[in-house]
Amino acid sequence: MKKTFAEKSLKQTFLGMFAVMSAASALLTACNQKNEVKESEKVHSQKTPVAKVPKIDDEDIPSDKRVIYLTFDDGPNRGTENLLKILHKRNVCATAFLVGKHASDSKRQKEDLEKMRTDVLLELANHSYTHAHNKYSDFYKNPEAVVKDFNRAKDSLKLAGMIARTPGRNIWRLNNIDVTDLKSSTEAANSLRKAGYKLIGWDLEWKPTNKMSLKDNHEAMLKKVDSIFFNDLEKTSRHLVFLTHDQYLTDADSINELDLFIEKLQKSNRFVFRKVSAYPKINEILN
């Protein structure tokens, strides 16, 4: 049975409804607080102290709220510093899926890793050590080597948890979700699961142009968020995992578009932002 969606019968888009409901209850958040920030304000480097906020259980979220998990892959990388500035400007949490090799590729990347490691708005997760050398088909042919690669990343990055994302693949391995985008990667994904890794993919990706900047604009992405929730396309009802990459945040337009995207989601007063470690059932022991 499809879930009830507030005001669906009125044939209004999800994001459009907040315009006639401006008196709606204040946004509940698990790890962000709404900031009064002018749109013209530039991304600043000053970090805003963030108070610890208790997790919000699903039953405490009103039926008209949705949960968004902002995730960023391939860091530390070009654009990581800009990502951190945006998160602090909007005071919103996120999860960074790190590549072990990137953390030692340059002095700048080593410094960025340390900034990420101590950032209260960010949690770190595993995205492999080599990023499959960008030869994905060959990489997943050897499940044992795949597990060793992730273990190497876990050790080198000193990651405490077992949450991971596979490079070049949208794969899920949780107790209640088992999805493999390309079946040739199934055995490797199952091996990672047996090793204790909790694999999480994504529901929506903000893709790049051929110049490695963000494709489309924030309005287009907001419509995609709307469409996923309206058409019940999330892997878990009312929970959307959003993906983009640090390295797309190097030009002024891309930085501004991501900033506006987050700002508009916050101002709609209909979303809760969480880190991936709060995703439903992700903390259960894998069978």
Nearest to 123 by CA among 89, 181, 165, 152: 165
| Residue-range definition of the domain harbouring residue 130 | 71-205+237-247+270-278
Across-strand partners of 172?
Answer: 179
Into how many domains does the chain fold? 1
| 65 inside domain | no
φ, ψ dihedrals at 223, nearest 5°: -65, -35
More confident residue, 50 or 149: 149
* CATH number of 120's domain: 3.20.20.370
Residues 6+ apart with CB under 8 A from 225: 14, 15, 68, 204, 240, 242, 265
Q: Which of 10-19, 152-161, 198-207 has the lowest mean pLDDT?
A: 10-19
| 130 inside domain | yes
Question: Cα separation of 190 and 183, whole Å?
Answer: 11
In this prediction the pTM is 0.83
**Per-residue pLDDT at 46:** 45
| 144 inside domain | yes
265-284 pLDDT tens trace: 999 999 999 999 999 999 99
Phi-psi region of 165 (alpha: psi -120 to 50; beta: other; left: phi over 0): beta
Residue 75 has pLDDT above 80, yes or no: yes
**Per-residue pLDDT at 59:** 55
Contact predicate 197/164, CB 8 Å: yes
Residue 215 has pLDDT above 90, yes or no: yes
Contact predicate 96/122, CB 8 Å: yes
Instruction: Indicate the pLDDT class of residue 42, thresholds 50, 70 and 90.
Output: very low
Share of the chain above pLDDT 70, in %: 79
| 224 inside domain | no
Instruction: Indicate the pLDDT class of residue 58, thresholds 50, 70 and 90.
Output: low
| 200 inside domain | yes
> 3-state class of 28 per DSSP?
coil
Residue 143 has pLDDT above 60, yes or no: yes
Contact predicate 99/153, CB 8 Å: yes
| 121 inside domain | yes
| 158 inside domain | yes
165-186 pLDDT tens trace: 999 999 999 999 999 999 999 9
Alpha helix locations (H) across the chain?
80-90, 107-117, 136-140, 143-157, 186-194, 218-230, 252-267
Nearest to 94 by CA among 286, 265, 268: 265
79-116 pLDDT tens trace: 999 999 999 999 999 999 999 999 999 999 999 999 99
Residue 34 has pLDDT above 90, yes or no: no
Is there a cis peptide before residue 62, judged by omega within 30 degrees of 0? no
| 153 inside domain | yes
Instruction: Indicate the pLDDT class of residue 31, thresholds 50, 70 and 90.
Output: low
More confident residue, 16 or 215: 215
